[in-house]
Amino acid sequence: MERTTHLSPYTSHHQTTTKHHPYSDSGGTETCPDDDKWASKLLRECAQAISDKDSGKINHLLWMLNELSSPYGDCDQKLAYYFLQALFCKATESGQRCYKTLVSVADKSHCFDSARKLILKFQEVSPWTTFGHVASNGAILEAFDGETNLHIIDISNTLCTQWPTLLEALATRTDETPSLKLTVVVTAAMVRSVMKEITQRMEKFARLMGVPFTFNVINGSNKPLGKFTKEELGVQDDEAIAVNCIGALRRVEVEERGDVIRLFRSLNPRVVTIVEEEADFTSSRSDFVKCFDECLRYYTLYFEMLDESFTPTSNERLMLERECSRSIVRVLSCDDKHNIGYGDCERREKGNQWCERLNELFSHVGFSDDVVDDVKALLKRYRTGWSLAIDQTDPNSNSNSGSGILLAWKDEPVVWASSWKP
Amino acid sequence: MIDKLVTEENITSNGFSNTNNLPPASSFPPPIKKKRNLPGTPGMYHTSNSYPEAEVIALSPKTLMATNRFMCEICGKGFQRDQNLQLHRRGHNLPWKLKQRTSKEVRKRVYVCPEKSCVHNHPSRALGDLTGIKKHFCRKHGEKKWKCAKCSKCYAVQSDWKAHSKTCGTREYKCDCGTIFSRRDSFITHRAFCDALAEETARVTAASHFNNVTPSGSVGNINYHFVGPPVLAGPTMAHHFSNSSSIFKPILTNPENHLDPTQQDGLSLWTSSNNNSNGNVNNNELRDLHQLGHQNHPSHSEYQPNWGVFGVKNTSDHDPNVSAPPSLLSTLNNLPQTHASASMSATALLQKAAQMGSTSSATTNHTSFLGSFGVNSSNNYNITTDTVATHVQDENKFCGLYGTSPMMNSYRGSELENDFSSLDEMYPPSKRRHIHVEEHHGGQTRDFLGVGIQPISHPRIRFDHV
């Protein structure tokens, strides 16, 4: 289908990894003009200084960044602010404490209403999350075709916003509505606290749709995800299983990711759908500057995307940015060994990296043409800037035998979605 | 035309990717299905009957779809239409004799569908119009080559696709909370989490809507195109169902009573209505629910709002009632689904209701009540002697969930039928509820059936104070 186009006005480059200026025609960017990218310069210098342990320079740069940054300013100022926080923690080795504080602050101001409002608004203005949902739902529905006893293991923190459309599709697609059991494994603390409300809403909605529905929530933060058993997940032999993993693999500690994939395999699912954000914070774990660069690149994209998708005074955007700050602190200044909690890792990997892991036990299933069309139709409903790319790891193959599809923002791949079968 | 589309889309949905393959037999309408005429072409489906001497033409798929069926015998040029061919023949300056068509009268021709398993394959169901049979063949047995760019819905006939594209995306979806969506997927997601979900409006067309819903073969291709008034907020089956679910709401909570939803009243409402449970079996379950709500109306008008809630929902989120149910329901859902501890006869319930004084708040009781309601276990309710969900039509799914839902069907009052139309007003401002509170001394919540009356404290219950 679509390949990453090089004719688009958004890009004049081919490399994507080290870029933090994804589009060179600054005419289109009101908030972050090219010639003003002081933040990334300073930030990188500071990261380098920290890596070099040049304390004089560190202090100087931290001071400068502190003066110039603001969480309420433009993109640069915001990036400066949030990355400054992480750099400071790194320099003072207070990452863990800072992270815990950030988390507890967020927790206190968090409730079902605000969480719901946040995620729904985000989904309204940006396909960042809905992209993965549509692709996954499509793959799941196709894999479940003809089955009557469905069981989806949902390992995600998207507050179940993926499932209403799936329920609706189940209800209307055939005369024989199958029964659905949904087991949600929740790792993020903030999501856990609202799961009661979510449970209630989902069950009600399923009743509405006329889909026989069972809903279970499993606390995924007590132990490593890979240590869960089939029984704990409630998997039964007569069920058709699908594993839906949205933004969850990255939360597993790097060393344990293999375990998780083995767990998936042991459930013998019809389909495994994986959606992850396209960034690599893992392979550069030991190299602070490299990791920092990648972090900066990715979050610059994200912040710019948020900036252009939301209104300038949006509170939701502010909250999303704050969420990022926790991730940034976590990745850059928290030592993984500290084990702050299960399910908090945030070290992303890129699609091809996940593929390597998954290829051991699974084989990739391309999204069908219909699903791809659905995704394209979805993207059309949003503002311009979004496009679909097929994973380029195998450029010789025809459209869908690549290893997934990518959502691209201004031609930069940002979210990767794929589906697998044993 | 739209109607016809509906039917045929229904049938072809399973085989949308088929290319002249047999669609599964089950997808065809049984021959008994009543014959419908194409609007504008009366008698088409009865062509064979109207023209008993009609010549039945059975064209092969190839010929049928061929674009040049009419060939000029002189130069061999092909034309799509006979008229065009005749026009062309004139140019050949034929001698008068040959100018004429074949001498015999042009017999009425009727065409059968080349698809053997198709109902129209039989001469008695032949179609009189060549274009018609072409389109039919395409739609039902053809490959869907035309795809809507906006919603990915596929069509085999180009004109169908064009017609759809014109209206696709222009439809608006309105949630009960007042928000309007142009995108169906965001509407559905919003709906699932909307507070207004707790109080569904009953639309009369809800049931009928669901009957018309087109099963779609592909993901996300469900097209509400065929649904009637655009005001229908989403799957009206949703309304349908939520009406039933909202039955619980009034019983469980009356926010204005601040934690003492007068369960007693609720119960007595139920039980008193028990006696009138031999109301007319309504075909429209929605109506039942309405009346169910209304049933309570005369005796406890204060409850009307609650009941009426699922009659009509025009209040928006700011209505204090709205916030209550979710929290209550959440507690309910948390508790294990236990059956109501007693299966009581109607008389026993009545007696109990009469005895009920002020009792404790009964959130647990709610649960137990709900628990029994929750999944397939409404058999504890021997409240109604007569009705079971017999009239539930394709609310079979609903039934499947709730087993027999005697509650629903039993309370059919006729009193408030007229109120059905004026549900707006039925949702009174809060002051009515206040009145209610005073009247009933704020009786504590109790188990709806009067069983298991235990004191319960549920810290999670939040009621918005009116």
Q: Of A321-335, B124-138, B341-355, which gets the smallest average pLDDT?
A: B341-355
By three-state DSSP, how is residue A239 classified? coil
H/E/C letters for each residue in A292-311? HHHHHHHHHHHHHHHHHHCC
Largest CA distance in chain B: 105
Contact A329/B at CB under 8 A? no
Q: pLDDT at position A307, please? A: 92
Whether residues B242 and A207 touch (CB distance < 8 A) is answered with yes
Contacts of B222 in chain A (CB under 8 A): 168-169, 172-173
Q: pLDDT at position B15, please? A: 41
Q: Of A56-60, A66-70, B301-305, which gets the smallest average pLDDT?
A: B301-305
Task: Considering only residues B422 and A381, tell me which one the structure prediction assigns the higher pLDDT.
Answer: A381
**Residue B187: CB partners within 8 Å, gap ≥ 6?**
B173, B175, B181, B233, B234
Token pair recorded at residue A269: 């699912």
Mean pLDDT of A291-312: 92
Between positions 248 and 307 of A, the ones with CB within 8 A of B are none
Q: pLDDT at position A406, please? A: 92
Contact A180/B at CB under 8 A? no
Calpha distance A175→B134 (Å, rounded): 28
* pLDDT tens-digit map of B323-335: 344 444 334 344 4
Task: Considering only residues A26 and A68, tell me which one the structure prediction assigns the higher pLDDT.
Answer: A68
Q: Residue B126: pLDDT band by 50, 70, 90 thresholds?
A: confident
Q: Of A126-140, B17-31, B346-360, which gets the smallest average pLDDT?
A: B17-31
**Residue A1: CB partners within 8 Å, gap ≥ 6?**
A369, A372, A376, A388, A390, A399, A400
Write the burial class of residue B459 (CB in 10 Å: 0-12 exposed, 13-18 middle, 19+ buried): exposed
Task: Considering only residues B166 and B413, tell me which one the structure prediction assigns the higher pLDDT.
Answer: B166
Whether residues A168 and B237 touch (CB distance < 8 A) is answered with no
Calpha distance B188→A328 (Å, rounded): 33
Closest by alpha carbon to B449, among B420, B407, B400, B412? B407
Calpha distance B108→B104 (Å, rounded): 12
Most B CBs within 10 A among A121, A167, A204, hence the mutation to make, goes to A204
Q: pLDDT at position A296, please? A: 93
Q: What is the DSSP letter of A255?
A: G
Q: pLDDT at position B47, please? A: 53
**Residue A86: CB partners within 8 Å, gap ≥ 6?**
A95, A325, A328, A329, A331, A332, A333
Q: Residue B284: pLDDT band by 50, 70, 90 thresholds?
A: very low
Q: Which long-range contacts (CB under 8 A, 24 or more apart) does A111-114 make?
A: A111/A193, A111/A194, A112/A194, A112/A197, A112/A198, A114/A319
Minimum CA–CA partner of A138 in chain B: B219
Whether residues A377 and B219 touch (CB distance < 8 A) is answered with no
Contacts of A205 in chain B (CB under 8 A): 191-192, 197, 238
Radius of gyration of chain A (CA): 21
Contact A193/B at CB under 8 A? no
Calpha distance B165→B149 (Å, rounded): 8
Token pair recorded at residue B42: 């009366």
Most B CBs within 10 A among A114, A122, A142, A173, hence the mutation to make, goes to A173
Calpha distance A83→A204 (Å, rounded): 42
Q: pLDDT at position B102, please? A: 55
Q: pLDDT at position B247, please? A: 35
Q: Give the end-to-end CA distance of chain A in Å, rounded to a whole number.
A: 25
Calpha distance A405→A413 (Å, rounded): 9
Closest by alpha carbon to B267, among B460, B462, B444? B444
> Which of the residue ranges A122-136, A381-395, B91-105 has the most confident prediction, judged by mean pLDDT?
A122-136
From the list B198, B216, B334, the residue facing A173 with the nearest CB is: B216
Calpha distance A203→A209 (Å, rounded): 10
Q: pLDDT at position B199, please? A: 53
Q: pLDDT at position B116, please? A: 76
Q: Residue B258: pLDDT band by 50, 70, 90 thresholds?
A: very low
Mean pLDDT of B132-146: 79
Task: Considering only residues B268 and A192, tell me which one the structure prediction assigns the higher pLDDT.
Answer: A192
Whether residues B245 and A208 touch (CB distance < 8 A) is answered with yes
Q: Identify the sign of the CA torsion A12, A15, A16, A18.
A: negative
What's the CA dihedral at A316, A317, A319, A323 to 10 degrees? 140
Whether residues A177 and B397 touch (CB distance < 8 A) is answered with yes
* pLDDT tens-digit map of B206-254: 443 444 443 433 343 434 444 334 443 344 444 444 343 333 333 333 3
Calpha distance A402→A413 (Å, rounded): 15
Checking if the pLDDT of B278 tops 50, the result is: no
Q: Are B404 and B398 in contact (CB under 8 A)?
A: no
Between the CA of residue B251 and those of A191, A247, A389, B335, what are the distances in Å?
A: 30, 41, 53, 17
Closest by alpha carbon to B407, among B264, B261, B295, B321? B295
Whether residues A137 and B219 touch (CB distance < 8 A) is answered with yes
Checking if the pLDDT of A310 tops 50, the result is: yes
Q: Is B178 left (phi over 0), alpha (psi -120 to 50) or beta?
A: left
Other beta carbons within 10 Å of A262? 12
Q: pLDDT at position B355, please? A: 57
Minimum CA–CA partner of A196 in chain B: B330
In this structure, the strands spanning B55-58 and A412-421 are unpaired
Buried b / exposed e over A50-62, threshold 16 CB at 10 Å, is beeeeeeebeebb
* pLDDT tens-digit map of A205-235: 998 888 899 999 988 878 888 888 888 888 8
ipTM rounded to 2 decimals: 0.80
Whether residues A210 and B401 touch (CB distance < 8 A) is answered with yes
CA distance A195 to chain B (A): 10
Closest by alpha carbon to B192, among A161, A233, A353? A161
Whether residues A378 and B242 touch (CB distance < 8 A) is answered with no
Task: Considering only residues A371 and B106, tell me which one the structure prediction assigns the higher pLDDT.
Answer: A371
Other beta carbons within 10 Å of B210? 23
Whether residues A200 and B329 touch (CB distance < 8 A) is answered with yes
Closest by alpha carbon to B319, among B393, B256, B252? B256
CA distance A364 to chain B (A): 20
Calpha distance B29→B425 (Å, rounded): 44
Calpha distance A335→A340 (Å, rounded): 9
Dihedral pair phi/psi, residue A408, rounded to 5°: -120, 135
Whether residues A208 and B397 touch (CB distance < 8 A) is answered with no
Contacts of A217 in chain B (CB under 8 A): none
Q: What is the mean pLDDT of chain A?
A: 84
Mean pLDDT of B114-137: 78
Task: Considering only residues B256 and A112, tell me which one the structure prediction assigns the higher pLDDT.
Answer: A112
Calpha distance B209→A215 (Å, rounded): 27
Q: Of A66-75, A232-241, A287-296, B247-256, which gets the smallest average pLDDT?
A: B247-256
Checking if the pLDDT of A287 tops 50, the result is: yes
* pLDDT tens-digit map of A24-55: 444 444 444 455 688 888 899 999 998 898 88
Checking if the pLDDT of A94 tops 90, the result is: no
Token pair recorded at residue B330: 């959440």
Mean pLDDT of A169-185: 85
Closest by alpha carbon to A135, among A353, A407, A411? A407
Other beta carbons within 10 Å of B418? 9
Minimum CA–CA partner of A216 in chain B: B334
Q: pLDDT at position A245, please? A: 93
Token pair recorded at residue A46: 């500071």
Checking if the pLDDT of A419 tops 60, the result is: yes
Checking if the pLDDT of A342 tops 50, the result is: yes
Calpha distance A128→A414 (Å, rounded): 8
* pLDDT tens-digit map of B305-322: 443 333 333 334 344 443
Calpha distance A402→A397 (Å, rounded): 7
Mean pLDDT of A135-147: 92
Checking if the pLDDT of B461 tops 80, the result is: no
Most B CBs within 10 A among A174, A176, A199, A200, hence the mutation to make, goes to A200
Between positions 380 and 409 of B, the ones with CB within 8 A of A are 397-398, 400-401
Task: Considering only residues B149 and A129, tell me which one the structure prediction assigns the higher pLDDT.
Answer: A129
